[in-house]
Amino acid sequence: MKGIVIKSTGNLCQVISDNKKYSCKIKGKNRLIDIEFTNPIAVGDHVEFSYDIKNQIGLIEKINNRKNYIIRKSVNLSHKSQIIASNIDLALLVVTIEDPITSFNFIDRFLVQAEAYKIQSKLIFNKIDLHDSRLELKRKEYQHIYDSIGYETISTSIYDKKNISKIKDLLKDKVTVFSGHSGVGKSSLINLLDPTLKLKTKELSSYHNQGVHTTTYAEMFQINSGGYIIDTPGIRGLGLINLNIEFLSGYFPEMVRASKDCKFKNCIHLNEPKCGVLHALENNTIAESRYKSYLSMLEKNTNYRKNNY
Ligand code: GDP
Ligand code: ZN
């Protein structure tokens, strides 16, 4: 049978096939493992499995190639990574201007990660019911920056349900990951998209997790208007990646456009002469905040290199 993994907790996983759920074990772990990763199977994997009706347990026989995946560094010292989820069609970052503040840097890191993973991404500006005229201006400033690069931005509020149906349409027939700081309203939004899911919102979940070291697993939910949502508790971004500094600007679409005018092919847009990116920055066709994020990522990756080599 063919199916999709919707939950994976070590050796056992849940697979959905023809709208039915099956508990499955993983066959001869080592033969299936991609040795690069600590977990052999991840939420979102497309698999082939056999099912033992008598014992009500399935056996994963094959994992199809992943079109993409997001990872995080393992908590143990193996230096291996853990796949959080795979075969993602869309990554939505939920952003709030205040309560909590989402910084430009945080947004830009998310977008760079999505570009690196080749996952389409969009930004949701939530809690707009809380905005006075000052915050409203700030939101417009944020949205203008990202809209003009080509990232779609959508503003929402769970109270007047603004644009919720628009998000429902976006998710149709897709596998979507919701990211964002804790408290921005991810669970509240997902519950609005499909009220039968009843994800725990802040007050409840923070009570439960206080001071307890919990291992959290990603989980995939089918929503009744079509599509799947992947909830990644405790993971704010799309995972860590080490970027090659020469490629970094390749993950900023507006820098890619501007760098066509750079004199040097390997220009990293710092202080090189005749640099198209620096020129665009002067002309305000590249936002200062985006360039600052670029510099900060550049610096981080350079430090990373210094410390490791
Ligand atoms: P998560 O940590 O991202 O899943 O955030 P939650 O969904 O748990 O929401 C955190 C808090 O923000 C809760 O108290 C929600 O009621 C509140 N919240 C979520 N969306 C909105 C919104 O659009 N407007 C306002 N005013 N509050 C919201
Ligand atoms: Zn340049």
Q: Which ligand has its closest atom nearest to the C-alpha of 100? A: 1
Measured distance CA(95)–CA(126) in Å, rounded: 6
CA distance 282 to 42: 45
Mean pLDDT of the chain: 86
In angstroms, the Cα distances linking 301 to 63, 79, 121, 248 are 33, 17, 23, 10
pLDDT score of 209 more than 50 = no
Highest mean pLDDT among 24-28, 52-56, 211-215: 52-56
In the three-class reduction of DSSP (H, G, I as helix; E, B as strand; rest coil), residue 120 is classed as strand
> Which of 202, 203, 221, 232 should be mutated for ligand 1, with most atoms under 8 A from CB?
202
Predicted pLDDT at 211:
40
The residue whose C-alpha atom lies closest to atom 17 belonging to ligand 1 is: 185
Query: Which of 171, 199, 169, 205 is closest to 187 using CA atoms?
Result: 199
Range name among 73-82, 134-143, 210-219 with the lowest pLDDT average: 210-219
Mean pLDDT of 29-51: 77
pLDDT tier for residue 244 given thresholds of 50, 70 and 90? confident
Give residue 76's pLDDT.
61
Residue 60 to residues 12, 32, 48, 51, Cα–Cα distance (Å): 10, 9, 6, 9
Ligand 1 atom 9: residue of nearest CA? 185
Helix (H) or strand (E) holding 115: helix 104-117
Q: Which of 97, 126, 164, 188 should be mutated for ligand 1, with most atoms under 8 A from CB?
A: 188
Ligand 1 atom, smallest distance to 201 CA: 8
Q: What is the per-residue pLDDT for 278?
A: 98
Q: Tokens 């840097």 label which residue?
A: 105
pLDDT of amino acid 77: 60
Average pLDDT on 128-135 reads: 96
Of residues 179 and 288, more confidence is placed in 288
Ligand 1 atom index nearest CA of 191: 7
- pLDDT (mean) for 29-37: 57
In this structure, the residues whose C-beta lies within 6 A of any atom of ligand 1 are 126-127, 129-130, 157-159, 180, 182-188, 201-202
pTM over 0.85: yes
Q: Is the pLDDT of residue 240 over 80?
A: no
pLDDT of residue 236: 60
Q: State pLDDT tens for residues 62-102.
A: 999 999 988 876 666 666 777 889 999 999 999 999 989 99
Average pLDDT for residues 172-186, to the nearest whole number? 92
